Amino acid sequence: MEKKIPHKIYISESEMPKAWFNIKACMKEQHEPFINPKTMKPCTEDDLRPVFCDEVIKQELNTTDELIPIPQGIQDLYHMYRPSPLCRAYFLEKALGTPAKIYYKFEGNNTSGSHKLNSAMAQVYYAKEQGITSLTTETGAGQWGTALSMACAFCGIDLKVYMVKVSSEQKPHRKEVIRTYGAEVIPSPSNTTKVGRSILEKMPNTGGSLGCAISEAVEVALETENCRYVLGSVLDHVLLHQTVIGLESKTALEKYGETPDIVIGCCGGGSNFGGLIAPFMADKIKGKAKTTFIGVEPASCPSLTRGKYAYDFCDTGKMTPLAKMYTLGSGFMPSPNHSGGLRYHGMSPIISKLYHDGYMEARTVEQSKVFEAAEIFARTEGILPAPESSHAIRATIDEALKCKESGEAKTILFGLTGTGYFDMSAYKNFNDGNMSDYIPTDEDLEEGFKTLPKVE
Amino acid sequence: MEKKIPHKIYISESEMPKAWFNIKACMKEQHEPFINPKTMKPCTEDDLRPVFCDEVIKQELNTTDELIPIPQGIQDLYHMYRPSPLCRAYFLEKALGTPAKIYYKFEGNNTSGSHKLNSAMAQVYYAKEQGITSLTTETGAGQWGTALSMACAFCGIDLKVYMVKVSSEQKPHRKEVIRTYGAEVIPSPSNTTKVGRSILEKMPNTGGSLGCAISEAVEVALETENCRYVLGSVLDHVLLHQTVIGLESKTALEKYGETPDIVIGCCGGGSNFGGLIAPFMADKIKGKAKTTFIGVEPASCPSLTRGKYAYDFCDTGKMTPLAKMYTLGSGFMPSPNHSGGLRYHGMSPIISKLYHDGYMEARTVEQSKVFEAAEIFARTEGILPAPESSHAIRATIDEALKCKESGEAKTILFGLTGTGYFDMSAYKNFNDGNMSDYIPTDEDLEEGFKTLPKVE
């Protein structure tokens, strides 16, 4: 199997990005600004300062600089686990019998098991520089919580993680990883916050949601001295940090004269997808490429494909600014039989805007089909993928099989965001034939939409 | 942190080894031959043929060829997950304040979470070539079982895995990974074999042992048509396959003009250690280097440091040939509070011989010290290590701290054999302060020695 293109393409450490790629500077129209729900006016830096670190607020509001330098201190932290490999899926291609060339950027080869470390390292570094001594956050599938606990361990910062209760029960071992890195894990909703107590009173048996965990983490950050909140997805600065994925992929592909016809990623809050597509999307916006972009979401939490493009709160407790995005309503909670992450009610404002303006496609997949794809991938490429990432695998396999029918040798790039080592309860359901699908009815969605705020 | 030597050194796919390194061809004296317990004469190829595949028997008995070509088909399989990175532990060095230069070869970046895939791929490939349709094996910590299930999935061969009962209880999720790759997992001792039933009758509450699981797997292989047994450690051919670890490490170090002063690895059955040290040991034997080699074993299962150098069975059921090795007796079972792998009663005959002839050192460490080292490593280098691998980390940290005292800038290479993602129950005990150490008394060891066979 001597081929010109190796199975794994590693760029050298000196080729790693020195600046993040700010896709907003290329977009013809910006997404609507965040709105302060108290004043109903666009958020200023001052509005955001009690919650977020100063430097990330600047990044959040920056729409003009295409390249934002990565401080040397963050580049040093990235060296711990980057560059990640860009892999050619020779084994999968052969198993499918497709003429398509399939590449995946594998972000799971670090202990967080995902891409989340890319933003965790950046945000914790900025917090440390600002003299912040403790941080709070939420986590769903647990990857973000693990990543942040790792970053906090390296930088010497205290951390409280509000973990969606159903995930903390499905994944007790994630909790131990986070504890090994020295952070505290609290299942959400909890009795430690006002918003948590209020939700528990109304719904004592709820499995929780990301939106609810965010509310609890924000409340603690606001009420603790020298403490800030950090978010692992959705916001523009998180997408910005994740652009190392797309930038490294582009550098690696260019070494072999390859350009993708299709770029595929799973969409929960949108940060990995946004980070993967950013530099390729810039080429499309500038008319240099005709790439197809496909965001894949679970049928059980279809914010892009069945949500409304509207102003909404980022959290269930309605404490955050309002963002214009595709949303199912902050009161929406996915069915308890939904496995893994991708359970957020909204979608990154950048991704929402790109989708709204026709630069990308979106589709949903059901979880039994997702695990079927995961198993095919594990048995051919050797990596046991996270359920989240397997949404992208499903769509990639579907596109590769279309190529098989049409005979087209398209180049497909997808984001393999993480590994499924902490998702074995879900795999057990699949292995036992007990995996059920759930597609919310229009009536279910209407209940969520009722929680949307009224904005003129 | 711009340095000449990168954090991770990847050799290119074309630089990967094309042949395994047979250390026996360099050794001045060979280890004693295997003995057939029925005839009490050295084992012939015919003696081994009912149990093992033909090609690995040839490798097992080969003492003359220094290089044994890796078939192209196995090289292709290795491309799925190799080369593995050789990492410079800059972050750990800094945290320890040591002048030592620490390198580790990281074998955990694949779904088996360990180096075990190196021999699994080879053995399953040879079985397939020979027309074998099913395989049996044992697994302790679960890494070998996972690796073999992956290799069997790629090659389309049925697999039964006898998993040490205490491990299968500590690690239910390992079982699901193995099932995802299509294999069957049976906790050992079980009612599916004569030897299992006999052990259960005598010790209904036993947590099992690797030796016992081996007996069950061998029994099934002997009684099933077109079925063979595969072993994940101890034997010469397994060490041979693992030499890709040492060969890649040497190629990577030579690129930067580095030669190790000390090479450290954990020792269970001895295969990862043997594979890591082989090409460096050859230089020492040939008088080209003065490297120190340190094998590290758990205080609770001290075969090299407190065992006898004697002929013994490789399994509890006394079905295998006799091997001359350091052993605690095939009846020895480590204390149930011992976490993870490295619970085998014996030691690779090659490693035993090298130790006996003074080419290497051995030492024991207690598990609370091992997990302490694991936590330091996780929090500095970012990788959550397997308990087994953490034995090597402990010894490396100890050596690096000696360098700090003496001011010597020694170059240390250690084998980071795997990740601890499926060992979180053990980490939980450590995080909760519930980790206890256990050192067998001389009387405990005498009980094991009583099970040694009498050999003239």
- Cα distance between residue A392 and residue A370, in whole Å: 9
- Cα distance between residue A85 and residue B81, in whole Å: 11
- Cα distance between residue B247 and residue B252, in whole Å: 9
* pLDDT score of B297 more than 80: yes
Report pLDDT for B2: 41
**Pair type for strands B41-42 and B35-36:** antiparallel
* pLDDT score of B30 more than 70: yes
* pLDDT score of A436 more than 90: no
Find residues 341-400 of chain A whose CB sits inside 8 Å of chain B.
375, 378-384
- Residue B342 sits at φ, ψ, to 5 deg, of 55, 40
What pLDDT, in 10s, does the model give residues A132-180? 999 999 988 788 999 999 999 999 999 999 998 988 887 888 989 999 9
What pLDDT, in 10s, does the model give residues A187-206? 999 999 999 999 999 999 99
Nearest Cα neighbor of A120 from A85, A153, A90 is A153
Mean pLDDT of B294-314: 96
**Which chain B residues are within 8 Å of A182, Cβ to Cβ?**
379
Q: Cβ of A180 and B150 within 8 Å?
A: no
Cα distance from B26 to chain A (closest Cα, Å)? 31
Q: Cβ of B431 and A153 within 8 Å?
A: no
The sheet with strand B361-365 has its strands ordered as: B8-9, B86-88, B101-106, B411-416, B262-266, B292-298, B361-365
* pLDDT score of A431 more than 60: yes
* pLDDT score of A293 more than 70: yes
Report pLDDT for A414: 98
Nearest CA in chain B to A147: B382
Question: The dihedral of CA A117, A123, A124, A126: what is its sign?
Answer: positive
Report pLDDT for A456: 66
Residue B1 pLDDT class (50, 70, 90 cuts): very low
Report pLDDT for B412: 98
Q: What is the DSSP string of A226-254?
A: TEEE--SSSSHHHHHHHHHHHHHHHHHHH
State how far the alpha carbon of A397 is from the alpha carbons of A318, A406, B122, B442, in Å. Answer: 39, 14, 29, 60
- Cα distance between residue A218 and residue A319, in whole Å: 8
State how far the alpha carbon of B110 is from the alpha carbons of A109, A433, B114, B357, in Å. Answer: 8, 26, 7, 35
What's the token pair of residue A133? 């001594």
* pLDDT score of A1 more than 50: no
Nearest Cα neighbor of B105 from B301, B270, B281, B242 is B242
- What is the distance, to the nearest Å, from the Cα of residue A120 to the centroid of all Cα atoms in its chain? 12
* pLDDT score of B3 more than 60: no
Lowest-pLDDT choice from A165-179, B245-259, B329-343:
B329-343
* pLDDT score of B441 more than 90: yes
Mean pLDDT of A5-33: 96
Residue A46 pLDDT class (50, 70, 90 cuts): very high
What's the token pair of residue B36? 């057939």
B197 touches chain A (CB under 8 A): no
A102 touches chain B (CB under 8 A): no
A114 touches chain B (CB under 8 A): no
Average pLDDT, chain A: 94
**Could you tell me how many residues make up chain B?**
456
What's the token pair of residue A431? 């292995």
Mean pLDDT of A313-330: 90
- With b meaning 16 or more CB within 10 Å and e meaning fewer, what string describes A169-186? ebbebbbbbbbbbbbebb
What pLDDT, in 10s, does the model give residues B172-231? 888 899 999 999 999 999 999 999 999 999 999 998 887 789 899 999 999 999 999 999
**Which chain B residues are within 8 Å of A153, Cβ to Cβ?**
378-379
The share of chain A scoring above pLDDT 90, in percent, equals 84
| Cα radius of gyration (chain B) | 20
CA dihedral B113, B116, B119, B120 (to 10 degrees): -60
A73 touches chain B (CB under 8 A): no
Beta bridge partners of B228: B135
What's the token pair of residue B371? 């997990």
- Cα distance between residue A137 and residue A114, in whole Å: 17
**Which chain B residues are within 8 Å of A428, Cβ to Cβ?**
176, 179
What pLDDT, in 10s, does the model give residues B56-78? 999 999 999 999 999 999 999 99
pTM of the model: 0.94
What's the token pair of residue B83? 């080369």
What pLDDT, in 10s, does the model give residues A81-116? 999 999 999 999 999 999 999 999 999 999 999 999
- Residue A415 sits at φ, ψ, to 5 deg, of -95, 115
A424 touches chain B (CB under 8 A): yes
Peptide bond into A321 cis (omega under 30): no
What pLDDT, in 10s, does the model give residues B130-139? 999 999 999 8
Q: Answer for the pair B368, B394: CB distance below 8 angstroms, yes or no.
A: no
Q: Cβ of B177 and A424 within 8 Å?
A: yes
Q: What is the DSSP string of B69-125?
A: EPPHHHHHHHTTT-SPPEEE-HHHHHHHT-S-EEEEEE---STT-BTTHHHHHHHHH
Mean pLDDT of A7-20: 95
* pLDDT score of A337 more than 90: no
Beta bridge partners of B137: B161
Nearest CA in chain B to A95: B154
Lowest-pLDDT choice from A121-130, B111-120, B161-170, B217-226:
B161-170
* pLDDT score of B94 more than 50: yes
- Cα distance between residue B315 and residue B167, in whole Å: 18
Region of B234 on the Ramachandran plot (φ > 0 left; ψ -120 to 50 alpha; else beta)? left
What's the token pair of residue B280? 């460096």
- What is the distance, to the nearest Å, from the Cα of residue B415 to the centroid of all Cα atoms in its chain? 11
- What is the distance, to the nearest Å, from the Cα of residue B255 to the centroid of all Cα atoms in its chain? 27
The share of chain B scoring above pLDDT 70, in percent, equals 99
What's the token pair of residue B312? 């013994």
- Cα distance between residue A54 and residue B439, in whole Å: 54
Mean pLDDT of B144-156: 95
Mean pLDDT of B345-374: 97
Nearest to A176 among B1, B111, B428 (CB): B428
Q: Which of A111, A158, A339, A393 to mutate to test the interface with B (most CBs of B within 10 A)?
A: A111
Q: Which of B383, B421, B422 to mutate to test the interface with A (most CBs of A within 10 A)?
A: B421
Nearest to A180 among B7, B91, B378 (CB): B378
H helices of A287-423, in order, are 303-306, 349-356, 367-381, 387-406
Nearest to A378 among B2, B180, B427 (CB): B180
